[in-house]
Structure 1
């Protein structure tokens, strides 16, 4: 599926394609406040440029298994200001399992406005409605309680802890896993009206 363009009330997802996207992603991935709970340290311009080159190349691979997308504020032009980096990766290690992993990073000046919830809801819509996945999961830092509440708000269930999952800054870090199944997501949407 290319190109991806999905919208909700105040957020849209689109492919990375604009030259100014590098500046926008640097404002996210270069910020230590944002990366404090991610699986990597702040990135510099060269790293962000390499990341964007990799995700734009991955967007054209067939079959497509990685959806790294720009989240932009609406209303207005969907090529607007990037507020988050959103990702859905389809599991290819276990063919036929029909699952994917999501991740997202929201620009710090956009925190507390409900945009993260909309970004995750759009990623779930992409996974379930567009790609026909059965299960979508995410992992978060045990200290990122805001992300935990966000995932609970969209219907994701906390499954448990992966001990010493990631090595960051020469220290091991656990991860908390959340997931949602297609029928749970559809039931939540039906209840929401």
Structure 2
């Protein structure tokens, strides 16, 4: 399924481009933006590798990783990064990060919704899950606001910012996604 373009009410997902490196570096290179992510701030060359890997993933057949730019509908510039990685048994894991300049506007909730639409409506997945820092209340709201339920705590899951950190997982199943009230 290439290329991916998905539109929500205010956001669009598109494939990554080489010129997205600086915009993603504003997120992945930022101490503030990576505070709750599973890694420390990354140098520019590492961010360039993330973009290159995402572009290369579009050529894999069958495609198993969807690394996408999150943009505003009226502006094709990257304001975030969204990822859906396919797993065995029609499952997938989502992850996302947004530029702090757009935090607090509901874009996280819309990003998760678009990832779930991609996974369930276009790829036919059965189960989608995501993980977050226990302190990341905004991510918890974005996932729960889309019907994802808190499932588990993975203790000492990642080593980041000089310490071990737990992760909280959230999950949604395809029949829950397809409920009429959704």
Aligned-pair CA distance for 1:160:
1.5
How many residues end up aligned between the 2 structures?
182
CA distance in 2, matches of 1:170, 1:110: 27
Q: C-alpha root-mean-square deviation of aligned residues, in Å?
A: 1.1
Q: Map of 1:45-56 to 2, 5 A cutoff?
A: 45-56=44-55
Q: Cα offset for 1:159?
A: 0.4
- Deviation per CA, 1:94-131: give whole Å up to 9, x if none: x3x11000000010000001111111100000000111
User: How many Å apart are 1:170 and its aligned residue?
Assistant: 4.1
Unaligned 5+ segments in structure 1 are none
**Residue 147 of structure 1, aligned match among 107, 114, 139:** 139
Question: Could you tell me the TM-score, scaled by structure 1's length?
Answer: 0.91
Query: How do residues 82-121 of structure 1 correspond to structure 2 at under 5 angstroms?
Result: 82-91=78-87, 95=88, 97-121=89-113
Runs of 4+ in 1 over 3 A off after TM superposition: none
Q: Residues of 2 paired with 1:83 and 1:156: CA distance?
A: 23
Q: Could you list the runs of 5+ residues in structure 2 that have no partner in the other structure?
A: none
Tell me which protein shows more strand as a share of its residues.
2
Which residue does the alignment assign to 1:173? 165
How far apart in 1 are the matches of 2:21 and 2:69?
11
Q: How far is the alpha carbon of 1:14 from its aligned partner?
A: 0.5
Deviation at 1:20, TM superposition (A): 2.6
SS in 2 for 1:34: coil
**By how many angstroms is 1:149 displaced?**
1.4
Q: Which residue of the partner structure matches residue 7 of structure 2?
A: 7
Contact 2:129 2:169 (C-alpha < 8 Å) held by counterparts: yes
Corresponding residue number in structure 1 for 2:69: 70
TM-score, with length taken from structure 2: 0.96
Partner of 1:33: 32
**1:171 positional shift:** 2.0
